[in-house]
Chains A and B, each alone.
Chain A
Amino acid sequence: MKVHVDPARCQGHGRCYDLAPQFFASDDEGYGSERNGGVIPDGQEHEAQVAAMNCPEMAIDVEQ
């Protein structure tokens, strides 16, 4: 699975890096981005999925 934060939609709510700091990071202004090129290791999809589903701006694209 791969995740990607769309900077055009992200408003820096920080739900992603709060819920799954291993997969998402914050920049100096609070905007989110994916770590490790967005690659989610097998078996950890659920946590990444939950983070994506909690983004109020629906800014996180998930590719199965």
Chain B
Amino acid sequence: MTVDDRFAGDADERFTDRTSHGRRNEPTIGPVTDWATDFDHLDDAWAADPYEIQDDLRQRCPVAHTDRFGGGWLPTRYEDVAAVAYDSDRFSSRSVVMSNFRSDVALAPAGGTPPITSDPPFHHGARKLLLPAFTRTAIAALEPATRAYCHELLDGLGGSSEIDAAVDYAQHIPMRAISDMLGFPPEDGPEFAGFVASVLEGINLPLTERLEGIGALFHYLSAQIDDHLAHPREDLTSYLIDAELDGEKLDAFHVAGTMGLLLVAGIDTTWSAIGASLWHLAGHPGDRERLVAEPALLPTAVEELLRAYAPVTMARLVREDMTWGGVEMKGEDWLLLSFPAANRDPAQFERADEVVIDREVNRHAAFGLGIHRCLGSHLARMELRVALEVWLERHPTFSLADPDAVTWSHGQVRGPRRLPLKIG
């Protein structure tokens, strides 16, 4: 075998070096004065209940502003969120986590983690490579293993009268699924939680700390790439190492960036969706009893839970100074793209603020809109449906053990991180 010189030398140092260049701002800490002019998606009030804030903004200031994070905007109407998602000419995906760090312009158009950080025309090819592995048919093949694993998790908890559904159940399901697809050892799961936290939740940490976390992720990915070069197998990592775009192999940054994306995007999103759904059912016995009695309603209910508790908010960077939606945006301003806010716009959904468990028409945007539509949506839907199905079968009766003990993540992915449930 010839040595693959794309990955020669100290690869993980090169990855870390590349991701650490960019524009930094000093963090602005302190309570929000007015959500319309000083919003902060890392504020405790936003983590506890963003919907009240978003509903208020939608009525009085549909495109809110903040000077924090070096400047940014927050539209809350469905129509505006959709318009931004469809407009990659004026809004770039180069950085998608609104923080005090904007990635280096030199990384465009691929960005650090293709395809989520890629803009057209590069985006299309980088995404197309991945589509076949994530179709509904490809994902259906993973369903039996996912179901068995959900049972195994609950078996392991025995006859406990209290289970933390976020810590002991929800988080493990997507970790196992994506690490199997990438071909990583299943026992590495606990390490992934740390990577996810540093990328998505460490937003207001001192930058050096956040970059250390990202460095650890790339170090791990480098080791996996080396292992796959030495022992190629049938998984997404070997597939990416061999894949070609326009007749050429992907560069090392593309391979590692995409692996990192799949790992991070695959885990705490779905963990959040499973947790938020169980949290809802724990507090709404009527909905819970109906799903226990009518399991066939579950796929419909899953869509409604995704609408109402959409876990993922994205971000864009404004390309150039412009007037948009009646406001003056500057180049490199952030735009916080709240699919959760869009999903609760009464102009788009009847009874937008209620969970209507059998909602028949549900054109929600939890998985985004336009060219970046969630690549993992079929996987996420399968995991969420199976996780709820198994839970309801094994524990049809449950409630919140202590509502005050529930904690929610901060940042752009929202879900319960502690969820103690009383069983029976």
Contact: A11 with B363, CB < 8 Å?
no
Contact: A30 with B131, CB < 8 Å?
yes
Contact: A12 with B361, CB < 8 Å?
no
Write the chain A residue with the least CB distance to B365: A56
Q: How far is the CA of A57 from the CA of B371 in the complex (A)?
A: 10
Contact: B131 with A29, CB < 8 Å?
yes
Interface residue SS majority, chain A: loop
Q: State whether A54 and B362 are in contact (beta carbons under 8 Å apart), knowing that A11-B370, A18-B299, A29-B128 are contacts in the complex.
A: yes
**Chain A residues, Cβ within 8 Å of B136:** 14, 17-18, 26, 30
Write the chain B residue with the least CB distance to A56: B363
Q: State whether A28 and B363 are in contact (beta carbons under 8 Å apart), knowing that A11-B370, A13-B377 are contacts in the complex.
A: no
Chain A, 36-50, CB within 8 A of any chain B CB: 50
Contact: A11 with B135, CB < 8 Å?
no
Q: State whether A26 and B299 are in contact (beta carbons under 8 Å apart), knowing that A11-B373, A14-B377, A50-B361 are contacts in the complex.
A: no
A24 to nearest B CB, angstroms?
11
Contact of A54 among B361, B369, B377 (CB under 8 A): B361
Number of interface residues of A (CB under 8 A): 17
Number of interface residues of B (CB under 8 A): 22
Contact of B134 among A11, A30, A50, A53 (CB under 8 A): A30
B295 at the interface (CB under 8 A from A): no
Contact: B371 with A29, CB < 8 Å?
no
B239 to nearest A CB, angstroms?
15
A56 to nearest B CB, angstroms?
5
B46 at the interface (CB under 8 A from A): no
Write the chain A residue with the least CB distance to B378: A14
B414 at the interface (CB under 8 A from A): no
> Which among B364, B371, B378 has the highest number of chain A CB atoms within 10 Å?
B378
Chain B, 195-215, CB within 8 A of any chain A CB: none
Contact: B360 with A50, CB < 8 Å?
yes
B343 to nearest A CB, angstroms?
10
Q: How far is the CA of A64 from the CA of B396 in the complex (A)?
A: 44
Q: State whether A26 and B373 are in contact (beta carbons under 8 Å apart), knowing that A50-B360, A56-B363, A58-B363 are contacts in the complex.
A: no
Q: How far is the CA of A55 from the CA of B303 in the complex (A)?
A: 12
Q: Which residues of A are interface residues toward B (Cβ below 8 A)?
A: 11-14, 17-18, 26, 28-30, 50, 53-58
Nearest 9 pairs of A and B residues by beta carbon: A29-B131, A11-B373, A30-B135, A53-B361, A56-B363, A14-B136, A28-B132, A30-B131, A26-B136
